[in-house]
Structure 1
Amino acid sequence: MIDIHCHILPDLDDGAKHMEESVRMARQAVDQGIHAVIATPHHKTTRYENDRQTVLESVRQLNNRLREEHIPLKVHPGQEIRIFEHMGHTFDETELLSLNETGVYVLIELPSHEIPRYTDHLIYNLSTQGYIPIIAHPERNQVILENSDILYEFVKNGGLSQVTASNLTGKLGKKVRHFSESLIEHNLAHVIASDAHHIEHRAFDLQDAYQSVRKRMDTAYVKQLSENAYDILNGERIHSYEPTRLKSKGLFGWFK
């Protein structure tokens, strides 16, 4: 199993201390049946700046440690990039990382409570440069929760989206779980990832998430979601179905 979005790298302010947490997370990932992850530390937020060279060096150090510990997990480089206005004009490969350095997929993050006015142009511009933007956890964005047509337009404009495993298992409540499931059912979500941060309150939940989706979707579709993660890791084009609009707008309109 592949996880394309997790925060397994040690915190850079105290690497010696947090390397142990990274090793514990690696063991947990293996217990979940995961054999490869893309490390996606936050970049360009108000708190975090994890540029390309920093990430590459941290991945190298962590993989060395995992080999020493005989933990069968391979960590690949990436970033979860908080979008900024000039990002789509020219993708700066001296600072920014595509997922696994394939030059294809870019994991982008929206603010939690808004959709910046330039987002649609950014997605389009990245697409015209040959990149495929993947929107991280759109089910957590309050604007998309109230109007899923916004995500529909992003997908029609060349973007993909990734839902978080714990949201499919209900850890953020039934409403977010139902919304996440609806995104998958309407081909508005293309891959499941853990977005794991810690071994306890934000852990790897991929097995439970896939089990939840199996209850609602056919086996072939669930298999395709899993294969999409492999394709993203390897820079191959995923198989995607034509997206459809959700029948009702607004999370609270569906689940009264």
Structure 2
Amino acid sequence: MIDIHCHILPGIDDGAPSIETSLEMAAALIEDGVEAVICTPHILPGLYHNNGPQIREATEKLRYALARSELNLQLFSGSDAHISVDFVEKLRTKEILTLADSHYVLVELPMHVRAEPLNKFFFELIVAGYVPILSHPERLAWIEPQFGLIQRLAHTGVWLQITSGSLLGKFGRSAKYWAERLLDEGLVHLLATDAHDTKRRAPDLKRGWDAAASRVGEYEANSLVLTRPRGILTNTPPSNLPLSLAQKTNAVFKSA
């Protein structure tokens, strides 16, 4: 399995507070069956002033620490970047990092208030040649009244990534309900841990895979944690990767 959203870098945001915690997280990820991780520190102006060079340096230091500890886990650089008006420009200057230097980029929206205008923001990202991945939409406080918007985004080129802990009830009943509904409607492209530590937000991708497989089957569960994430690492275009279940349904409907 490949975890495309993990706050494993030490002392860089609200994730792992120390190198010791990072190594404990790495061991837990390996034990869970994860072979590769994309390190995605928050980039949020006014709170987390991380940038591309800083994240790359921290990733390289953690790679060295993993090797010294004989922990066989591949690391790639990325970011969990909050929506902003200059998002595309920051991508071009590498202030915001794409996932593993691919065309795929993880985007975080405000948790409690809908940002405007979202359609325009994601359209500009796609036109600029990126594949936006909306992180944990099921945990947005405003998802219920705006669920139609989330559905439209998923049908117009935006990938959806849900958190494994949401399926396991770790973020409450609302997040669990919306994670399951997004899965059931075939709108989810990726499953990731969004792990921050080894206790409160510990790696749990295998249990998340189990929960997803019970709803959408093993083939699609594998696509969520292996096939599509591997495609991100190799910068494979979305058209060459497995369609989401909703996209498959639409394709069958159009050909009928």
Alignment-derived partner of residue 83 in structure 2: 83
Q: Distance in 2 between matches of 1:97 and 1:111?
A: 19
Alignment-derived partner of residue 139 in structure 1: 138
Alignment-derived partner of residue 156 in structure 2: 157
Q: Distance in 2 between matches of 1:117 and 1:206?
A: 32
Does residue 73 of structure 2 align to residue 73 of structure 1?
yes
Higher percent of residues as helix: 2
Q: Deviations over 1:30-71 (max 9, x none)?
A: 111111100000002431011000000000000011001100
Once the two structures are TM-superposed, the CA of residue 171 in structure 1 deviates from its matched residue by: 1.1
8 Å Cα contact 1:88/1:121 also seen in 2? no
Q: TM-score, normalised on structure 1?
A: 0.88
Alignment-derived partner of residue 176 in structure 2: 177
Alignment-derived partner of residue 126 in structure 1: 125
Alignment-derived partner of residue 248 in structure 1: none
Q: CA RMSD in A?
A: 1.9
Alignment-derived partner of residue 231 in structure 1: 231
- Residues 90 and 8 of structure 1: CA distance in aligned 2, closer, same or farther (over 3 Å): closer
Gaps of 5+ in 1: 245-256
**Other structure's SS at 2:21 match:** helix
Q: Distance in 2 between matches of 1:124 and 1:90?
A: 16
8 Å Cα contact 1:155/1:243 also seen in 2? no
Matched residue type, 1:240: L
8 Å Cα contact 2:43/2:49 also seen in 1? yes
Matched residue type, 2:178: F
**Other structure's SS at 2:215 match:** coil
1:187-198 matched pairs, under 5 angstroms: 187-198=186-197
8 Å Cα contact 2:162/2:191 also seen in 1? yes
Q: Deviations over 1:103-128 (max 9, x none)?
A: x1000000001221122111111101
Quick one: percent identity of the two aligned structures?
30
Does residue 27 of structure 2 align to residue 27 of structure 1?
yes
8 Å Cα contact 2:169/2:175 also seen in 1? yes
8 Å Cα contact 1:52/1:97 also seen in 2? yes
Matched residue type, 1:151: I
**Other structure's SS at 1:76 match:** strand
8 Å Cα contact 1:4/1:233 also seen in 2? no
- Residues 116 and 155 of structure 1: CA distance in aligned 2, closer, same or farther (over 3 Å): same
- Residues 124 and 19 of structure 1: CA distance in aligned 2, closer, same or farther (over 3 Å): same
Matched length:
241
